[in-house]
Amino acid sequence: MIQRILATVALTLAAVSIPSASACAQEPSADQQIANATSPLPDNLSAGATVLGYRGGELVTLREGSNVMICLADNPAQEGFHAACYHKDLEPFMARGRELRAAGHEAPAIEAARLAEIEAGTLLMPTEPRALYSQSSRQEFDAATGAAPNARGLYVIYVPYATEESTGISAKPAGDRPWLMYPGKPWAHVMISK
């Protein structure tokens, strides 16, 4: 169970930081991408979310939103399904991850670069809690049903610099209760799997 959660976490964090692929599978329509991108959100947030999706393998804005959420559509160049939605205050952090990955950097270098930039004040990170919602499935999104078969939800609450001591939330991964990932980091967050 923990291995599955950690795999979902890795997919979630990678997906919101991945550049678009140059060669892509058949791209769904903008409407289909908007539907799959907003699928992790509660109904009251989905209609007003900004949606980023793919056109010609490039990540573009498919819809400007009217609320605080940004959703990233499933990348058609990758197998399976993954969509993530996060508070707009996390966009500088997410966008910087995409830029670094596009430049060929891998996870440790991306983490080090973002940490240095946050500490230098050149990369802004929220100082209060912010949410991220995601869904992942090994199967593709079905536009007819508006869902990905067997999709698993993951809810994340970013609490910058949170620790076990400051929150009372264990940093030990668990599938049956919330747990704290990256304690003490600017991107510390509470993991809640569905």
CA distance 143 to 97: 29
In a domain, 9, yes or no: yes
- What mean pLDDT comes out for the span 115-134? 97
**7 phi and psi angles, rounded to 5 deg:** -65, -40
DSSP code for 170: -
In a domain, 185, yes or no: no
Residue 186 forms part of a structural domain: no
Number of domains within the chain: 1
Residues 82-111 pLDDT 10s: 999 999 999 999 999 999 999 999 999 999
In a domain, 177, yes or no: no
Would you say residue 96 lies in a domain? yes
Distance CA 140, CA 10 (A): 18
Alpha carbons 113 and 110: distance in angstroms, whole number: 5
- DSSP-derived pairing of the beta strands 179-181 and 189-193: antiparallel
Q: Note the pLDDT of residue 140.
A: 81
**Dist CA 4 CA 138 (whole Å):** 12
Distance in Å from the first CA to the final CA of the chain: 12
Instruction: Grade residue 25 by pLDDT with cuts at 50, 70 and 90.
Output: low
What element of type H or E holds 72? strand 69-72
Q: What is the domain range of residue 79?
A: 2-153
Burial class (CB in 10 A: 0-12, 13-18, 19+), 92: middle
Question: For residue 23, what pLDDT is reported?
Answer: 39
Distance between CA 145 and CA 157 in Å, rounded? Answer: 28
Q: Is residue 169 part of a domain?
A: no
Which has the closest alpha carbon to 75: 131, 17, 3? 17
Q: Across residues 131-152, what is the average pLDDT?
A: 83
Please check whether residue 120 lies inside any domain of the structure.
Answer: yes
Tokens of 67: 């609320």
Within a domain: 133? yes
Query: How confident is the model at residue 21, as a pLDDT?
Result: 40
| 185 Cα distance to chain centroid | 17
152, 58 contact by CB (below 8 A): no
pTM for this predicted structure: 0.84
Tell me the two tokens of residue 89. 């205050």
Nearest residue to 163 (alpha-carbon basis) of 132, 188, 140, 139: 188
- DSSP helix/strand/coil, 179: strand
